[in-house]
């Protein structure tokens, strides 16, 4: 699914689409466990679609616009970065 298409949906449509995609994902996973390995690529796409839908729903819940989210993600420092060997104390 395209991101612009998902953003145009209402909150109710987001919920219904999320449940439909999750149901599709369940069915394809079930089929793959039965030995029908046709849906490996489809599983990956459905997981990404669910993540996109949940991300947009969360942005709306927090009141974040998409351009603000991208800008703040780029400008925010990364947490959990390790110091290099030259910046650690006691490094030779």
Question: Which CATH number fits the domain that encloses residue 43?
Answer: 1.10.287
Under the banding of pLDDT at 50, 70 and 90, the label for residue 86 is: low
- Axis crossing angle, helix 11-33 with helix 40-62, rounded to the nearest 10: 160
What average pLDDT does the segment 5-16 reach? 94
Q: What is the pLDDT of residues 12-24, one digit of tens each?
A: 999 999 999 999 9
What average pLDDT does the segment 77-91 reach? 61
Three-class SS of 25-56: HHHHHHHHHCCCHHHHHHHHHHHHHHHHHHHH
Which residues constitute the domain of residue 22?
A: 3-63
- Looking at the domain assignment, is residue 56 inside a domain? yes
Q: Count of domains in the chain?
A: 1
- Looking at the domain assignment, is residue 58 inside a domain? yes
- Looking at the domain assignment, is residue 42 inside a domain? yes
- Looking at the domain assignment, is residue 74 inside a domain? no
Contacts of 91 (CB under 8 A, 6+ apart): 85
Q: What is the pLDDT of residues 42-57, one digit of tens each?
A: 999 999 999 999 999 9
- Looking at the domain assignment, is residue 91 inside a domain? no
Q: What's the confidence (pLDDT) of residue 90?
A: 60
- Looking at the domain assignment, is residue 70 inside a domain? no
Q: Are 25 and 54 in contact (CB under 8 A)?
A: no
Q: What's the confidence (pLDDT) of residue 77?
A: 63
């Amino acid at each position: 699914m395209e991101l612009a298409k998902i953003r145009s949906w209402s909150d109710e449509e987001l919920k219904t689409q999320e449940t439909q995609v999750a149901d599709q994902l369940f069915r394809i996973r079930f089929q793959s466990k039965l030995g029908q390995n046709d849906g490996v690529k489809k599983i990956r796409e459905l997981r990404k679609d669910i993540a996109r839908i949940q991300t947009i729903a969360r942005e709306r819940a927090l009141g974040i616009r998409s351009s603000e989210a991208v800008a703040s993600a780029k400008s925010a420092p990364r947490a959990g970065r390790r110091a290099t060997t030259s910046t650690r104390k006691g490094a030779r």
